[in-house]
Amino acid sequence: MNTILKYRIVFIVTAFTVTMFFSCKNNFKDIQNIGILDSGPLSIAENINTKYTDSGKLKSHLISPKMLNYSNRGFPFYEFPEGINLTMFDKENNKSNVVADYAILYDETDLIDLQGNVVLTTHKKDTLFADQLFYDQKKEWLFTNLPVRFRTKNELINGNGFDSNRDFTNAQVLEVTGRIFIDE
């Protein structure tokens, strides 16, 4: 009888151990996210002054008072709630500048959404004024369907919508609502 009791105890302990072993799951991601609120940013950066270079050439210079990093989300993004001042340099090292009250960069789509008093000034002194402007980093394309004002050396154009490549060599105001020619 002692032998049967020993086998039963060994059987129960073995069954319990096997059950415990198979009930464990790989939850390393869950452990990494302990303390991270789903509604809050992963990190907050203040007084940003970042320069981006490629092959030793300065491509852009970003200044912003605050950046919120939401890369812990299913659709990761970076938010600049207090605005940005971005200077971009082309192949000939010409400088263009964009200022906005608010910006958000979507990591997966490489789309930048600029909002609130958006002013983009090119190295040729062409200036675009808009409430919202999108920049597709992959296609290097600027666009909006909201009202804009576009000032060139020779004219001031108001319209609803704007399309352009990064260099403004084919900038186009859509649905032109007014045009003033400037004589200098």
Neighbours of 129 (CB within 10 A): 16
Q: What is the pTM of this model?
A: 0.75
Q: Is residue 14 part of a domain?
A: no
Q: Is residue 61 part of a domain?
A: yes
Domain containing 84 — which CATH number?
2.60.450.10
The pLDDT confidence band at residue 25, using thresholds 50, 70 and 90, is low
The per-residue pLDDT for 116 is: 97
Q: Is residue 23 part of a domain?
A: no
Residue-wise pLDDT for 103-116, tens only, equals 999 989 989 999 99
3-state SS track over 24-56 = CCCCHHHHHCCCCCCCCCCEEEEEEEEEEEECC
Q: Is residue 67 part of a domain?
A: yes
Which structural domain range is residue 169 located in? 39-181
How many domains is the chain partitioned into structurally? 1
Cα-flanking dihedrals φ and ψ of residue 38, to 5°?
A: -65, -30
Judge whether residue 35 has pLDDT over 60: no
Contacts of 134 (CB under 8 A, 6+ apart): 111, 112, 113, 114, 142, 143, 144
The per-residue pLDDT for 5 is: 63
Residue-wise pLDDT for 39-50, tens only, equals 788 899 999 999
Residue-wise pLDDT for 145-166, tens only, equals 999 999 999 999 999 999 998 8
> Region 67-74: what's the mean pLDDT?
90
